[in-house]
Amino acid sequence: AAGVIQSPRHLIKEKRETATLKCYPIPRHDTVYWYQQGPGQDPQFLISFYEKMQSDKGSIPDRFSAQQFSDYHSELNMSSLELGDSALYFCASSLGGPYISSGANVLTFGAGSRLTVL
């Protein structure tokens, strides 16, 4: 079965550079979530999209932006990178948006993109 695809899997950037992470959700999933996970920490919610519109916003820095495209894939753009941005970034997808029973909204996670800022 197709899973959530994230690219790149690993990324090394210098401080103040920019980075773009991509996420391809499970086919027919219409909701995408982005999470940031530091070492030994639980995943922190950044932002989510339903049907190409932002549906919820978490602790996403102003230096970060994201969007969901017509084919439902999503990109997380990170600018003016800081050392503290080094983390695993996970994308997750689900089906049904905010008005469907929660069982259908269970998140399926990708393998993650590891960002290292030097």
Partner 1 sequence: QQQVKQSPQSLIVQKGGISIINCAYENTAFDYFPWYQQFPGKGPALLIAIRPDVSEKKEGRFTISFNKSAKQFSLHIMDSQPGDSATYFCAAMRGNQFYFGTGTSLTVIP
The verdict on whether omega for the bond into residue 8 sits within 30 degrees of 0, i.e. cis, is yes
Closest C-alpha to 96, from 25, 1, 43, 31: 31
CB of residue 58 vs partner 1: minimum separation in angstroms? 10
CB of residue 80 vs partner 1: minimum separation in angstroms? 26
Do residues 1 and 107 make contact, with C-beta atoms less than 8 angstroms apart?
Answer: no
Give yes or no for residue 25 binding partner 1 (CB under 8 A): no
What SS3 state is found at 103? helix
Residue window 85-104: x/- pattern of binding to partner 1, with contact defined by CB under 8 A: ---x-x-x-x-xxxxxxxx-
Where is 51: in which H helix or E strand? none
Do residues 109 and 5 make contact, with C-beta atoms less than 8 angstroms apart?
Answer: no
Number of residues that bind partner 1 (CB under 8 A): 32
CB of residue 106 vs partner 1: minimum separation in angstroms? 6
- In terms of residues, how long is the chain? 118
Give yes or no for residue 5 binding partner 1 (CB under 8 A): no
| Binding positions for partner 1, rule: CB under 8 A | 4, 31, 33, 41-43, 45, 48, 50, 55-56, 88, 90, 92, 94, 96-103, 105-112, 114
